[in-house]
């Protein structure tokens, strides 16, 4: 199972995301990095053993510019990037700033052209808020996505809260997916117990942010314990 640390970027700095209330996000304070510089944070992740990071470009997601040039300079680690893609034009623009092994995320929160769900070499994010998938139905997305395209179950309401993963939501998606696609889980990771729950369910990857920055989870430790390549 991949342990995938998170970088939320707004105005060229790493911020602490919580419950999707993006206008209130503050510069990140972390026990593993002395600054809120996203490049320094990504380097800290890599030093702890991370092979991949999840990056959310919050300005692009909110339609308030982008941080593409900065993201392009995070070229020393593999990235999966949510940049608020709405259309094919957006997808192609984002891909220009990604390296060969990086992948763009197609997220239901922002997506307009739903045919992009069937695109090759992407990751699809099922964005839930208050238990409801934003803009689409789960059945609609699962009917369009290619076999083996990774799916992120992202509980936006739980992001940054540390209140624990949404087991009901995860089990529902696992039942509907029937092993067709790799599954990643993000939002609300409380501690190593939540990571163990995901591992025991056969989850392929876990997105972790707040628990790392607060020192509740030792990134190097969980990578050594759970990552299998």
Superfamily of domain 2-226: Aldolase class I (3.20.20.70)
Average pLDDT of the chain, as a whole number: 93
Whether the CB-CB separation of 108 and 126 falls below 8 Å is answered with: yes
pLDDT band at 126, cuts 50/70/90? very high
CA distances from 27 to 8, 13, 53 (A): 10, 7, 18
Percent of the chain, pLDDT > 70? 95
Does the pTM of the predicted model rise above 0.85?
yes
* pLDDT per residue as tens digits for the range 165-201: 999 999 999 999 999 999 999 988 999 999 999 999 9
Structure tokens belonging to residue 30: 């972390």
* pLDDT per residue as tens digits for the range 15-57: 986 655 556 678 899 999 999 999 999 999 999 999 999 999 9
pLDDT at residue 24 in the model: 66
Angular region, 205: left φ>0, alpha ψ -120 to 50, beta rest: beta
Residue 162 has pLDDT above 60, yes or no: yes
d(CA 204, CA 206): 7
- Rounded average pLDDT over 73-90: 97
pLDDT band at 229, cuts 50/70/90? very low
pLDDT band at 161, cuts 50/70/90? confident
pLDDT at residue 80 in the model: 98
CA distances from 6 to 116, 123, 156 (A): 24, 15, 13
pLDDT at residue 23 in the model: 64
Structure tokens belonging to residue 74: 């995070």
Whether the CB-CB separation of 59 and 66 falls below 8 Å is answered with: yes
d(CA 195, CA 188): 11
């Amino acid at each position: 199972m991949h342990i995938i640390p998170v970088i939320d970027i707004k105005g060229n700095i790493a911020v602490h995301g919580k419950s999707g209330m993006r206008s209130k996000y503050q510069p990140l304070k972390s026990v593993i990095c002395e600054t809120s510089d996203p490049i320094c944070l990504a380097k800290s992740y890599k030093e702890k053993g991370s092979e991949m990071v999840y990056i959310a470009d919050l300005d692009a997601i909110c339609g308030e510019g982008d941080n593409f040039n900065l993201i392009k300079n995070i070229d020393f680690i593999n990235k999966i990037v949510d940049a608020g893609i709405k259309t094919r034009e957006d997808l192609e623009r984002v891909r220009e700033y990604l390296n060969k092994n990086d992948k763009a995320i197609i997220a239901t929160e922002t997506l307009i052209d739903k045919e992009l769900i069937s695109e090759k070499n992407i990751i699809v994010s099922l964005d839930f808020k208050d238990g409801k998938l934003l803009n689409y139905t789960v059945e609609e997305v699962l009917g369009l996505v290619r076999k083996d395209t990774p799916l992120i179950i992202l509980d936006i309401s739980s992001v940054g809260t540390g209140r624990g993963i949404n087991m009901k939501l995860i089990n529902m998606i696992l039942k509907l997916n029937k092993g067709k696609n790799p599954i990643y889980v993000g939002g609300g990771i409380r501690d190593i117990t939540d990571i163990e729950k995901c591992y025991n369910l056969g989850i392929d990857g876990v997105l972790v942010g707040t628990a790392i920055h607060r020192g509740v989870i030792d990134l190097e430790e969980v990578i050594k314990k759970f990552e299998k390549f």
